[in-house]
Amino acid sequence: MKNFYLLLAFSSIICLSSCGWFKKPPEIGKVLADYSKNKIYNDFDSVAYDSVFVKTMATLAEDFINPNTIKSFYSANSNQPELVTKFFVDNSLDSLANYLQNSTEHGFNPKLFKTDEIKSLITQLRENKFKKVDQSYPIIAKLELLSANAYLNYSNYLKYGLINPRNLFSRYYIKVKRPDSLGMIKLLGGKNLIDSLHAFQPKSDQYKALQTAYLSADNESEKHILLLNMERLRWKMPATGTYFVQVNIPDFRLTWFDKKDTVISMKVCVGGKREADYESKFKVFAKSGNLDDKPKNHETPLLFSKINSIQANPVWNIPVSIAQSEIYWMARKDPYYLSNSNINVYYKDKLIGEPDTINWSKYSRDKLPFKFKQGSGGGNALGKFKFIFDNSSSIYLHDTNNKNGFNLANRAISHGCVRIEKPLEFAEKLVNDTYAYDKLRAEVDLPPIDSTHVKWYKKRLAAKADTLKAFQLKPTWFGPKKAVPLLITYITAWAQNGKIEYRPDIYGMDEILWSAIKKFR
């Protein structure tokens, strides 16, 4: 009998609890009740709110950039209004709305974030004119979701940029970091909205200088250029450290930085611009397969790597594309072109002793069975030095035997590699050692800097001059003191010496980028 009464009492408690007698309002209900002094929030029903939230999500998510991430976050938090609960009362959501409204200083349009709608929803919730608690559910749900979406978009745009350049440019090989779902979920679950909003703001001097110039510029084309380069600075690039080499293609210049100081700076020649109407011409080539239809594209790729070796008296392994488009025709036109140019020909990796006897008319240039290498020496197209770094495009920095190119205003003239104006000075900085530098100088017949090294320098010259022994000039490898980060990039506006420097958009990359980001303005 005793057990019967205990069971009856337990059942009664379960019943009373399910009927809501001991039910506490969820945290959002308590927060809004305390804030508004309105007791209707004590009746906040999580089940009823959840139904409204799900419907609101279904309506709004179609316009979200990261709908699955947002759904995942709220699913893990029982669809509770996390942002409104934490950040409405302390006015942090108002601060979010203010940051969104002021996003024009970054070139964004506040309408992207539905800023006015968020501000209106905050006002409606703050005015507290609801007669019944369920009237607040759609306001809370919409404010929550629009705030979450705007918060993520705003942070991602500032931290990672509006677009992924690797999806836009075919020769952009720099691995930029992009937003990930775990990071976004962590952001939504953060404890301090205002601190996060402040942390998103770009801090670099370059960005701030471009931003100031943008806010004061009157000319629309100038504003476009400034915005484009602000966007480039927002891309999350690999860490170069404070000691690195940068090649800026539009500036035709290599600069070695040590923190903010310049170690060395010099002119460069870069790859030539692709043919006009390249895309449509390439489609024709893709269908025909005829090399005569193939449009030229020698643009230097954008990449990040580390310079890991120097080759003195380099051999030029001539790319297939150059062999087909140039070497083949020169050899057909002049049977002695190859030997006079110190170009060796290989068939199945075996050296052909007399390349001048090859009947080139027998071979189709699109199926050439030969490989071509230009030997070391004064006539080598790479000059006396090649600076090597890992990359998938067979690109390197090198000297050149044609110095006239450095006198041109538009130095986009190479096949894609980067010719540098002062290779010897660059090599000296890389080896960063007097003994190694003198060895390197000796390889290119230059006297040593250290007089104690004169003896072996003269010995080398004597060996080279000995007519009784065949002296063969060969490549010699040198290692830098430490691998130096290299960034080949594309910047058309930057701050320098208190003013903004502008450079022509030689590859048309500004035009392509503007087409991608103008919808955000």
Catalytically active residues are: 398, 417
Amino acid at 233: L
CA-to-CA separations, 70 to 117, 381, 441, in angstroms, rounded: 19, 56, 61
What DSSP string describes 490-520?
--SEEEETTEEEE---TTSHHHHHHHHHGGG
Name, in order, each residue with C-beta under 8 angstroms of 355's C-beta and a sequence gap of 6 or more: 331, 338, 339, 343, 344, 345
Question: Distance between CA atoms of 391 and 302, rounded to whole angstroms?
Answer: 10
Query: Are the C-beta atoms of residues 16 and 22 closer than 8 Å to each other?
Result: yes
Distance of CA 369 to the CA centre of its chain: 38
- Residue position matching structure tokens 């269908």: 287
Name, in order, each residue with C-beta under 8 angstroms of 55's C-beta and a sequence gap of 6 or more: none
Question: Distance between CA atoms of 8 and 292, rounded to whole angstroms?
Answer: 94
- For 178-187, which contacts have Cβ atoms below 8 Å and span 24 or more sequence positions? 178/236, 179/66, 179/152, 181/66, 181/68, 181/69, 181/72, 184/66, 184/69, 184/73, 184/152, 184/156, 185/69, 185/72, 185/73, 185/76, 187/151, 187/152, 187/155
Query: Are the C-beta atoms of residues 272 and 413 closer than 8 Å to each other?
Result: yes
Query: Are the C-beta atoms of residues 23 and 17 closer than 8 Å to each other?
Result: yes
What DSSP string describes 101-113?
HGGGGGT--GGGG
Question: Distance between CA atoms of 154 and 146, rounded to whole angstroms?
Answer: 12
Question: Distance between CA atoms of 250 and 201, rounded to whole angstroms?
Answer: 27
Classify the phi-psi angles of 79: left when phi > 0, otherwise alpha if psi is within -120 to 50, otherwise beta. Answer: left
Distance of CA 518 to the CA centre of its chain: 19
